[in-house]
Amino acid sequence: MSFWPFITNFGDAAVMLPCALLIGLWLALGSGLRALLLWFGLFALACLLTAATKIAFFGWGIGSRELDFTGFSGHSMQAASVLPVLAWLLFGQGRLRPLAPWLGVGAAVLVAYSRVRLGYHSPSEAITGTLLGLVVAALCLRLLPAQVLLPRRQTLVLVASLLLPLVLLHGRRAPTHDLMQDLGTLAAGSDRPYTRADLHARTSSPIN
């Protein structure tokens, strides 16, 4: 597998959603129910906003021809939400604490760039998806306790559990794109989903 496909696969829901669940478990064990609800609430909201933009485009063609925008990049949003918080949990208790979230940000930016490089998304979609995810991560890191401490055994179990999504599920493709297409066409009562070619075939777009 070449470099950019290898990088982009880390942003797939098959990898990021299990990581998000492990983050929630880590926060619940280390900081309690409030931290769990904060993380899942913000992450779920970002997922819903991303899905809404995709459904709106696939169903009704709502997007921007001028910006080449058909919806937030899901890979970019998920990576930017999950990876900074995950890096903070993994490396934020020692000397790397000030830099830990930035390691996650850097990895998320690579995922977003890979989406553009491979032609899956336009720059506007990758950038807005990344910004949405970074808002989630920043709010969580701002509102969570300064430290999330667990007994050594629990920490080792959670770190080992990350091998499942990050290694064993890497390269799998979650059917989220097809699901959004089906939901959009079903909601709009269309025969087929709108495509990027349809967007650029117009003389104007619903969103300027």
97-101, 108-112, 180-184, 185-189: segment of lowest average pLDDT: 97-101
DSSP annotation of 92 reads: T
Q: Which residues contact 149 (CB under 8 A, 6 or more apart)?
A: 30, 93
Mean residue pLDDT across the chain:
90
pLDDT at 76: 98
Give the C-alpha separation, 53 to 194, whole Å. Answer: 13
Closest CA to 26 of 157, 201, 180: 157
Residue 67's nearest CA partner among 26, 120, 126 is 126
pLDDT at site 156: 80
Structure confidence at residue 203 (pLDDT): 58
pLDDT band at 79; cut points 50, 70, 90: very high
CA pair distance 181, 155, nearest whole angstrom: 39
Q: What percent of the chain has pLDDT over 70?
A: 92
Amino acid 155: pLDDT? 78
CA quadruple 58, 112, 36, 45: dihedral sign: negative
